[in-house]
Structure formats: C-alpha cells, structure tokens
Homo-oligomer: A and B are copies of this chain.
Amino acid sequence: MGRDEFIDACKQVGLNVTYQRIAIFNKLMEHTDHPSADDIYKEVRQDYPTISLATVYKTLETLAKHDLISKVTYLHDIARYDGTSEAHHHLVCIKCKKIIDIDSNALDAIGIPAGVPGNFRILNYRVQFDGICESCESASTEQE
C-alpha cells in the first residue's frame, strides 16, 4: 500500500489523516524486516524530533486494529510454555489467546517449499491457525 492508498484507507475507516500517522506508516513500509515500535520511533524522530514513543506505540496499535498494518507477534505479551519440545502446530483464539495443539500428519508433511531462501538453515516449522474459539464465538453472538 502506497502513501495515497494509505490516506484513502484511513479515511475509509474513519481515522484522521495526520502527519504522524503518515510518517509512521511510511517508515514501516520502508522496512522488510518487521521492526519494533522503538525502531520506528528512532527513525521517525530523525525527521520529526518532537514525536513521542507513546505516539508511535499508539499509532501502530491503532493502524493494526483497523487492519491497515499488522502485528507479526500478536501473542507477544506473555510468554507461554509447552510441555513438549517437539515442534507442532497450534490453533490460537485471537480473542482469549487460548492456544490449542493440532496433531496433523498433513501439516507435518508440508516440508520446505520453494520461495524459502537457501541461505537459511531451517530447523523446523510450525503452522499457526488464528481464529475464534467456541466460547468466544458464543460470547459475542449473545450480544446481538
């Protein structure tokens, strides 16, 4: 998404188009390496020295909430442990952050596809399915 598209997208979701939002979005788009809020802050501050780190955090979360960008590590707030050390696959509820194991031969058989750089030694992989669990689903339909 380019700058103009971003501006349109902000308007569509009802966000005011501010200099800060554009600057933060632009810096994020310049990256291919999935930066942290602090990374973005340090860069944006070059052009805009009075911006606050809290603004960067808030803006990134706001943009993610409206699906203009995304958070790669949305389960990052608390460390979660697993009794087994073997790589396997998970179902994650995006509402309550419940994590459920998936046992699937089909997923174990994926292997390493084309499109994966060769200069990277891959140790294992895991598939994460994001969705809404039964109890969160029924909790939300009760509201209607």
- Listed in ascending order, the chain A residues whose CB lies under 8 Å from chain B are 1, 25, 28-29, 31-38, 40, 60, 64, 67-73, 75-87, 90-91, 93-94, 98-107, 110, 112-117, 119-134, 137
- Contact between chains at A69 and B84 (CB < 8 Å): yes
Contact partners of A115 in chain B: CB under 8 A: 102-107
Q: Is the CB of B73 within 8 A of A75?
A: yes
Which of chain B's residues have a CB closer than 8 A to the CB of A102?
A: 115-116
Chain B residues with Cβ below 8 Å from A119 are: 133-134
Give chain B nearest CB distance to A87 CB in angstroms: 8
CB distance from A35 to the nearest CB of B (A): 6
Q: Which residue of B37, B103, B127 contacts A79 across the interface (Cβ within 8 Å)?
A: B37
When chains A and B are docked, how far (Å) is the Cα of A36 from the Cα of B98?
11
Those 9 A-B pairs whose CB atoms lie nearest each other, nearest first? A104-B115, A106-B113, A122-B131, A34-B99, A76-B76, A119-B134, A125-B129, A29-B83, A67-B85
